[in-house]
């Protein structure tokens, strides 16, 4: 994946089109918006030079060596002008609060893929009704399809994001008889017909789910534009009888058996202390023709519902952690004992927690994490979680967020951490960092989602999703102790040609985000 093919486009086509467009357009009437004199970095054409960008009708209309005039102008002198960052893995995009924190981290498109939603059309309608400051899209939730099949709830009566209701039950987590398994596949296919972008396969929360279901879902996605299956592997544990080697083998085998596009979610946390081995195995499978992609985030701690199967007290030794390595967000407490953990899992199964896996301050453990982050084939994705105050998820239209709003720091600072510290520490070039945060995720999706062919790039005709930042100062400020801190150095964000962040300040009334949906008919 380090060098994606450019489908049907001759070498040098971008530069040729850009120069032709500039000569034809630069002298035309004013653009809607211009971004002048910035260091434009386009990871597809490898352009890295001072240029001015003209935007009209939500599209990039010109790239010029000379300043352009427009109805609105951004002076980007001394700043980087980058394709807007694309996040393949955000639960936070389901709320306005989470989407706004994303934009303040330079994200212009965010997807709920690992878990997904159901029903799909209802979810798109709900988010469109609220509005978002960034583009958004969803996969079809295998978890929710199993919850519906387990108790027979009609899909139209199901909430689009009912984690609380689902986690009060366990009837969807284990093996299903043939009739229920068949119903699961039917529900997922309905979601694909409604435009779901692949399938969210959150196996870590249902480790007893049928192997046959994953196989059938993989075959199903081949019919729908080879949409990816986004897999949280069945077993996260680095140790024990059910460990992440077997879980990675399952995904690789399904890719080989079906030809389906399988995508590993958060390889860093699922591979854990076996990151080098799991990367080598995936590279080998890809070299043999398996269609496998992956993502990583630059933090040593994970986050999940406290009743996640892999956080069961008797499984913690297999995870390599103890109860005191778990932070319960609603109270801010470190869980003192296995007894307290069991109590919380019973009383509040959908409560959010942070669990500490790799020590970011330990050079050896940080080196393991960095292998997943800097690998040229990995996309950067946040796995952002909801923002909450105490027991309540923030679902209202409020900005700025309350001072005591809590989440994992990856929900606020993932992309700035990669574009800033990772680049300044010499772990990535700026071009490579931008590529992993924009072009790579766009290319992972563009086979089944043609809209994505116009994102992740700075070229004429591309969507005007643009992030302007200061390369010298960009960094994450969110921490585990004080998560509600937006990233530094993000100066301007443009979504579909509309300024959403101006001079580092969110424009709270800007809701120019648009839906991204699968548009390929069944084969």
We report the CATH number of the domain holding residue 33 as 2.30.40.10
Adjacent-strand bridge partners of 38: 51
pLDDT at 168: 83
In this structure, the answer to whether residues 210 and 326 fall within a common structural domain is: no
My answer on whether 376 and 288 are in the same domain is yes
Spatial separation of the C-alpha atoms in residues 464 and 456, rounded to whole Å: 10
Question: How many domains in the chain?
Answer: 3
Question: Would you say the pTM of this structure is higher than 0.85?
Answer: yes
Give 279's contacts (C-beta < 8 A, 6+ positions apart).
Answer: 267, 271, 371, 372, 375
- Distance of alpha carbon 323 from alpha carbon 78, whole angstroms: 48
User: For residue 219, what is the domain's CATH number?
Assistant: 3.20.20.140
- Residue 142's CB is within 10 A of a number of other CB atoms, namely 31
User: Are 108 and 155 part of one and the same domain?
Assistant: yes
What is the model's pLDDT at position 522? 62
**Domain stop point among 445, 466, 481:** 445
> Does residue 481 form part of some domain?
yes
Distance CA 511, CA 352 (A): 28
Please state the separation of Cα 54 from the chain's center in Å. 28
- Is 383 within a domain? yes
- Tell me, yes or no, whether 256 and 178 share the same domain: yes
Please report whether residue 271 resides in a domain.
yes
Q: Which pLDDT belongs to residue 9?
A: 43
416: tokens are 């700035």
Q: Cis bond leading into 352, ω under 30°?
A: no
Long-range contacts of the stretch 164-167 (C-beta < 8 A, 24+): 164/350, 166/350, 167/305, 167/307, 167/349, 167/350
pLDDT for 172-209, tens place per residue?
999 999 999 999 999 999 999 999 999 999 999 999 99
Tell me whether residue 1 is in a domain.
no
C-alpha–C-alpha distance, residues 83 and 435, integer Å: 9
What whole-number distance in Å separates Cα of residue 139 and Cα of residue 112? 7
Contact predicate 140/214, CB 8 Å: no
Question: Residues for the chain: how many in total?
Answer: 523
182, with CB counted inside 10 A (0-12, 13-18, 19+), is: middle
Contact (CB, 8 A) for 30 and 70: yes
Please count the other Cβ atoms lying within 10 Å of the Cβ belonging to residue 180: 18
470 in the same domain as 344: no
* Alpha-carbon span 355 to 380, nearest angstrom: 20
Kindly state whether residue 200 falls inside one of the protein's structural domains.
yes
User: Tell me, what's the pLDDT at 386?
Assistant: 94
Task: Kindly give the residue spans of alpha helices, DSSP state H, lying in 290-398.
Answer: 316-319, 338-347, 363-374
Q: How far is CA 422 from CA 268, 320, 426, 429, in A?
A: 16, 27, 6, 8
* Last-in-domain residue among 333, 356, 379: 356
- Residue numbers in the chain where pLDDT is lower than 70: 1-29, 520-523
Q: Is 387 in the same domain as 471?
A: no
- 107 and 68 share one domain: no
Same domain, 388 and 478: no
**Integer Cα distance of 251 and 231 in angstroms:** 8
Residue 504: left if φ>0, alpha if ψ -120 to 50, beta else—which one?
left
Residues 419 and 481 occupy one common structural domain: no
Q: What is the pLDDT of residue 156?
A: 85
- Whether residues 312 and 295 fall in one domain: no
398 and 345 together in one domain: no
**H-helix or E-strand spanning residue 40:** strand 31-42
**How many CB atoms sit inside 10 A of residue 18's CB?**
22
* Pairing mode of beta strands 326-328, 333-334: antiparallel
494 and 512 in contact (C-beta within 8 Å)? no
Residue 192 lies in a domain: yes
* Tokens found for residue 353: 């927690």
Query: What phi-psi label fits residue 386: left (phi over 0), alpha (psi between -120 and 50 degrees) or beta?
Result: beta
ω into residue 414 within 30 of 0, thus cis?
Answer: no
Residue 498 has what pLDDT? 98
Q: Domain for residue 308, yes or no? A: yes
DSSP one-letter code for 170? -
Give which of 407, 405, 369 is closest to 386, Cα–Cα. Answer: 407
Q: Is residue 518 included in any domain, yes or no?
A: no
At residue 201, the 3 state secondary structure works out as: strand
Domain that holds residue 50: 13-83+458-506
CA distance 230 to 89: 9
Residues 141 and 238 in one domain: yes
Strand partners, 42: 47
């Amino acid at each position: 994946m380090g060098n994606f093919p450019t489908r049907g486009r001759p070498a040098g086509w971008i530069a040729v089109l850009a120069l032709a467009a500039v000569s034809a357009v630069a002298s035309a009437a004013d653009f809607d918006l211009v971004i002048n004199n910035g260091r434009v970095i386009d990871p597809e054409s490898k352009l890295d030079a001072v240029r001015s960008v003209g935007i009209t009708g939500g599209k990039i209309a010109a790239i010029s060596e000379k300043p352009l005039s427009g109805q609105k102008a951004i002076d980007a002198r001394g700043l980087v002008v980058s394709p807007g960052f694309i996040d393949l893995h955000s639960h936070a995009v389901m709320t306005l609060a989470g989407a706004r924190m994303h934009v303040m981290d330079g994200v212009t498109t965010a997807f709920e893929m690992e878990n997904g939603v159901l029903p799909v059309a209802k979810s798109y309608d709900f988010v469109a009704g609220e509005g978002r400051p960034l583009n958004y899209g969803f996969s079809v939730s295998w978890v929710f399809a199993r919850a519906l099949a387990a108790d027979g709830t009609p899909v139209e009566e199901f909430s689009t994001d009912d984690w609380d209701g689902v986690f009060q039950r366990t009837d969807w987590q284990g093996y299903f008889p043939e009739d229920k398994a068949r119903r699961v596949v039917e529900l997922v296919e309905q979601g694909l017909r409604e435009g779901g972008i692949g399938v969210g396969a959150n196996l870590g929360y249902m480790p007893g789910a049928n192997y046959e279901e994953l196989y059938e879902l993989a075959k199903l996605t081949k019919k729908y534009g080879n949409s990816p299956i986004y897999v949280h592997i069945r077993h996260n544990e680095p140790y024990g009888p059910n460990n992440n080697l077997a879980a990675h083998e399952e995904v690789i085998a399904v890719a080989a058996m079906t030809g389906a596009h399988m995508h590993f979610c958060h390889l860093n946390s699922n591979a854990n202390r076996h990151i080098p081995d799991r990367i080598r195995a995936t590279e080998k499978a890809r070299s043999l023709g398996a269609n496998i992609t992956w993502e990583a985030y630059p933090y040593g701690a994970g986050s999940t519902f406290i009743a996640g199967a892999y956080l069961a007290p008797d499984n913690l030794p297999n995870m390599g952690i103890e109860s005191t390595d778990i932070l319960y967000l609603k109270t801010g407490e470190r869980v003192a004992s296995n007894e307290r953990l069991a109590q919380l899992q019973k009383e509040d199964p959908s409560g959010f927690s942070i669990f500490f896996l790799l020590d970011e301050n330990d050079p050896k453990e940080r080196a393991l994490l960095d292998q997943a982050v800097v690998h040229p084939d990995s996309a950067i994705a946040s796995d952002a979680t909801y923002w909450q105050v105490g027991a309540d998820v923030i679902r209202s239209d409020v900005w700025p967020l309350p001072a005591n709003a809590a989440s994992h720091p990856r929900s606020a600072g993932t992309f700035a951490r990669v574009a800033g510290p990772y680049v300044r520490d010499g772990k990535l070039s700026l071009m490579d960092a931008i590529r992993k945060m924009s072009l790579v995720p766009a290319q992972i999706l563009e086979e089944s989602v043609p809209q994505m062919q116009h994102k992740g790039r700075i070229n004429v005709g591309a969507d005007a999703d643009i992030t302007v930042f200061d390369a010298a100062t960009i960094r994450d400020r969110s921490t585990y102790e004080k998560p509600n801190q937006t990233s530094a150095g993000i100066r301007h964000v443009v979504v579909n040609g509309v300024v959403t962040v101006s001079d580092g300040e969110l424009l709270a009334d800007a809701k120019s985000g648009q839906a991204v949906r699968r548009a390929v008919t069944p084969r």
